[in-house]
Every structure is written in structure tokens, then in C-alpha cells.
A and B are shown apart, each in its own frame.
Chain A
Amino acid sequence: MKNEMTLSFVAIEENEALARMAMTCFITPLDPTIEEISEFKTIVSEAVTNAIIHGYECDGESLITLRATLNDELVTMTVEDQGAGIENIEQAMEPMYTTRPHMERSGMGFTIMESFSDHLSVQSTVGSGTIVTFEKRFAPMMETSRVR
């Protein structure tokens, strides 16, 4: 099965849940396991929260755009903002590194995204924004569930 989607929303924290819900619906045709769903939702949540908090500082105006394609068992997704950008991507991806300790950000977002996805890449320019791209491959559907 092939499918494609784009979703944009403003940078408020409430939209973390919106993004997870939309993306969960998008992967439903793959008949994912509970573990696959929760790992995928976690990646989405981390990337979108980063865009809202770090990209736009929850400004409630600027747009975050999610783009996703589904190509049989492979889901490719980008989370894009035109916000602050990341000065040092390598440092930002280090476990426990955070620029917002007072907000109790654990600094584990990228570690989790890397571990739960099959491929993760980050492009960023200070002052013009960040694009996080990840791929997740789902287990092939059983023949029995395909016939439903």
C-alpha cells in the first residue's frame, strides 16, 4: 500500500497530542503491533515537542509541518520548523544534553528517536529552522490479517 500526507499546526504544546494521534491513524493500515505503535508515537512526540519548544519557544503562531509517506512496510516522515535552528547538531544529539534543564527536559529526545527508528537524520540552520527525517520499517502483515 502507498499513501502520503501533510499536516501543519501552530507551535502550542496541545498539538503534541494532535501530531501523535494523526500519525497513529496514518500507520493503522500497516496493522502495527502495540510495541510498534508506541515506539512510533514516541518518535513523533519527541520530534514535534522539540520543534514546539526549541524551534519556536511555544509562540502559538509559527507552523510546524509533518510530512509522511507510506511505502508498503516503510514509513518515512519529516518534522519541519522554520524556527531557531540548532547550533551544534552533534552536541544536541548527545544523551542528557539539554539547553532547557529548568524546563526538566531530560536531553534524551534524540537518543530515543535514534533508538526507536531505523534511520534518523537532522538538517538545521541557525535562524532558519530544522528538519528531522526518520524512517521506521514495520513488520510485514500476516496473510490472515490482510484478508480481513
Chain B
Amino acid sequence: MANIELTDEGVLVVTLYGELDNHEANGIRGEVSSAIYAGKVQTIIWNLEKLGFMDSAGIGLILGRMRDLSPFNGETIILNPSSTMEKIFSFSGLEENIRHSTVAEAMREIGGVLNEK
């Protein structure tokens, strides 16, 4: 299950719940992609704080959306994954995208980066 919110600053906050496997990823993919194709997204924050489980389908889902976002030079932040999820992300070189903070703090960090540009 996913809750998707787009802020005025172009930050797409995707909060995931329950268990993210191949079946679940297939359901979420279209929703997130259409938000990106609308052209207003600068950054995606994947908030995993409430996600109970994730397998490699999570890597596919996030890498795929990074690809969708690349024409817009968008950033990707992976927020609060569990330690097992963190290992899974590190196998695919996504550890640099991981942050442990609140959504508001992550937004402030992005705000700072966007202002410097």
C-alpha cells in the first residue's frame, strides 16, 4: 500500500505500508510513474518508516523511478529503511540515497540543496 503526496515545491513523498514484494510493486509503479510524467516532480522521498518488509522488488521499483526522473534531473531519497532493507539497498549501490530523519528534516535538506542550485 502506498500514500503519495506532491508538495508545492515538487517533492513527491511516497509513504509505503505493509509488505513490498513483486506483486505489490506492480500495483504501485503506475501511480508513482504518472505523478512523475506530469512533470512537476523534482525529488522523490520514499518514506519506508512504516514498511514492514521489502525484497528486491523494492530495488526495481526505486531504480525504475530514478530512471523516470532522470530526464528532469530529479533526486531520490530513501528515508528510514530497516537494517535488513538497508543491506538490500547497499547491494545495489543505493546506500548514498539513504537518510534517517523525519520527512520534514529531509524536506529541509532538499530545500537547502535546491536553493543552492
Contacts and interface: CB of A to CB of B under 8 A. Distances in A.
Contact of A49 (B54, B55, B91): B55
B59 interface: yes
A30 interface: no
Contacts of A95: 91
A104 B91 contact: no
B50 interface: no
B27 to A, nearest CB: 10
Interface string A30-69: 0000010011011001100100110000000000000000
Contact of A35 (B23, B25, B56, B84): B84
Contacts, number: 73
Contact of A38 (B22, B29, B84, B92): B84
Nearest to A111: B91
B29 A104 contact: yes
Contacts of B82: 38
Most buried by A among B53, B59, B84, B91: B84
A20 B91 contact: no
Interface residues of B, number: 24
Interface in A82-129: 95-96, 103-106, 108-109, 111-112, 115-116
A42 B57 contact: no
Interface string A131-148: 000000000000000000
Most buried by B among A17, A38, A96, A115: A38
B84 A39 contact: yes
B34 interface: no
Given A20-B53, A45-B21, 11 more contacts: A13-B21, A14-B23, A16-B21, A16-B22, A46-B55, A46-B56, A49-B57, A104-B60, A104-B64, A108-B92, A112-B56
